[in-house]
Amino acid sequence: MVAMYMPRLLEVPIKQALKTFPAVVITGPRQAGKSTLVQKVGGENYRYVSLDEMDIRSLALSDPRGFLIKYSPPLILDEIQHAPGLLSYIKAMIDRNRKPAQWILTGSQAFPLMRNVGESLAGRVAVLSLYPFSLSEMNRSLRTKLKTAPAFIRHLNTAEKPLQKSLSCGKWLLRGGYPQIFTKKNISLKLWFSSYLQSYIDRDVRGNIKTANLNEFERFVKLLASRTAQELNYSTLAGDVGVTVPTIKSWISFLEASSLIYLLYPYHKNFGKRIIKAPKCYFMDTGLVCYLTGLQDEEHLLQGPMAGALFETACVTQFIKRFSALLDPASLYFWRSVDGFEVDLLVEISNRLFPIEFKLSSTITNQHASSLQAWFKLAGQRSSGGLIVSTSAQMGLVGHKVHNCHFSLL
């Protein structure tokens, strides 16, 4: 067990799922803390087995039945994608005994893992996603009593002051949320992210794309990072990298399945204006973006041309992490018309829309709320009060139905 443990938002939904389902699967990017989390949740009640260990993996591949006799439930199986053949045997065992909380499985490679889980354990498993640390986890302010998306948004709208002890904006954006980066203060960001990217390419990418394209893939990832929080233009990316549009689309899908990026789609209802149809692409970790784009210090970051996009990326991903941990049926979109009218984030809950804007500014005025005011007129009764998330500590009402919230409360 790792000596230092940081409480995670996903602890509660995992424990809830284990009360009902025989198996729970935790997916997410490498180094997000899945192994540490499941060992903490399982405690002494579960035996822990990692399929990263070659001798254990060899037994699982050569004799899956014998493996499951040796390692019987309750069992944590880490990196299950290394031995997907086990899933059919686990299914048979679950069918003989539907007792909840028998298996906790983790996996980093979403494509093969989820395909096999879908085929083998449909209806028998709860699937949850773990991402790098959220800001609330790093600030040790989980606010687990906010159990629904409306409750969380209401909290942001009514809070009166920033969190007293929070990471600075610059450090938050530059370092990101990977647990090793956060817990090891003197770690070399450049060395860690370089090793992380190389490991990702060697272990996850190499077997899934043509070897001849690996250099192009690396260049593509760096180009995409420089365009975080922007709409995807597959043709432009293809031209810049020197590959075909279908190749770019397959690489985007691979990064999305690896949980390294998130595609935010435009809201699908037309309120009288023609809308943009391409999704926006967000990297799930701004520290990785900073490494890929050569940003090495906070001052360079905050004064540079990517500052606004990085702040928007960090804020949007906080909502993704929070809502995925809530198991709440909230849908996330953005809105942009062809004539430039835009809302950064729309949260849809029970046919109600909560518009949110992100402003990297320490001074918020009525002018910052203009796009939200225009949105109210367009959306009518379907839209609830708007929210601006900024670096301004002056919280409260900044326009009709619009509140300013400090980013530390995300």
H/E run at residue 398: strand 396-399
Domain boundary among 129, 149, 167: 129
C-alpha separations of 19 from 328, 334, 348 in Å = 18, 35, 28
Helices (H), 268-369: 286-293, 298-303, 307-326
Note whether residue 1 is domain-resident: no
Domain boundary among 129, 144, 163: 129
- Contact (CB, 8 A) for 394 and 404: yes
Which DSSP string corresponds to 270-292? -SSS-B--SPEEEES-HHHHHHH
Question: Same domain for 252 and 319?
Answer: yes
User: Parallel, antiparallel, or unpaired for β 75-78 and 47-50?
Assistant: parallel
Question: Same domain for 149 and 43?
Answer: no
- Which pLDDT value is given to residue 369? 87
Domain boundary among 129, 150, 169: 129
Give the pLDDT of the chain (410 residues) as one tens digit per residue.
Answer: 444 789 999 999 999 999 999 999 999 999 999 999 999 999 999 999 999 899 999 999 999 999 999 999 999 999 998 898 899 899 999 999 999 999 999 987 666 666 677 677 878 899 899 999 999 999 999 998 998 999 999 999 999 999 989 999 999 999 999 999 999 888 999 999 999 999 888 878 877 777 668 889 999 999 999 999 999 999 999 999 999 999 999 999 989 988 999 999 998 776 655 666 899 999 999 999 999 999 999 999 999 999 999 999 999 999 999 999 987 678 999 988 777 778 999 999 888 899 999 999 999 988 898 889 888 888 877 777 899 999 999 999 998 889 999 999 99
Question: Same domain for 370 and 223?
Answer: yes
Question: Same domain for 305 and 367?
Answer: yes
Note whether residue 4 is domain-resident: no
Nearest to 135 by CA among 265, 3, 280, 316: 316
Question: Same domain for 153 and 294?
Answer: yes
- Which pLDDT value is given to residue 59? 96
- With b for 16 or more beta-carbon neighbours within 10 A and e for fewer, the 380-398 pattern comes to eeebbbbbbbbbbeebeeb
Question: Same domain for 141 and 250?
Answer: yes
Residue type, position 350, single letter: S
Domain count, the chain: 2
Note whether residue 97 is domain-resident: yes
- Contact (CB, 8 A) for 333 and 280: no
Query: How many other C-beta atoms can be found within 10 angstroms of the C-beta atom of residue 294?
Result: 12
Question: Same domain for 122 and 24?
Answer: yes
Note whether residue 181 is domain-resident: yes
Q: What letter does residue 369 receive in the DSSP assignment? A: G
Give the integer Cα–Cα distance in Å for 6 and 37: 9
Note whether residue 154 is domain-resident: yes
Note whether residue 343 is domain-resident: yes
Query: How many other C-beta atoms can be found within 10 angstroms of the C-beta atom of residue 225?
Result: 22
Note whether residue 368 is domain-resident: yes
* Tokens encoding 94: 């679950």
- With b for 16 or more beta-carbon neighbours within 10 A and e for fewer, the 8-23 pattern comes to bbbebbbeebbeebbb
Domain region containing 49:
11-129
3-state secondary structure of 46: coil
User: From the CA atom positions of the chain, what is the Rg in Å?
Assistant: 22
Question: Same domain for 121 and 230?
Answer: no
Question: Same domain for 88 and 122?
Answer: yes
Kindly give, in sequence order, each residue whose CB lies less than 8 Å from that of residue 66, ignoring residues fewer than 6 positions away.
59
Give the integer Cα–Cα distance in Å for 193 and 175: 10
Question: Same domain for 15 and 152?
Answer: no
Question: Same domain for 112 and 143?
Answer: no
CATH number, position 111: 3.40.50.300
Question: Same domain for 227 and 359?
Answer: yes
Note whether residue 172 is domain-resident: yes
Kindly give, in sequence order, each residue whose CB lies less than 8 Å from that of residue 289, ignoring residues fewer than 6 positions away.
176, 225, 228, 283, 295, 306, 310, 313
- Which pLDDT value is given to residue 1? 41
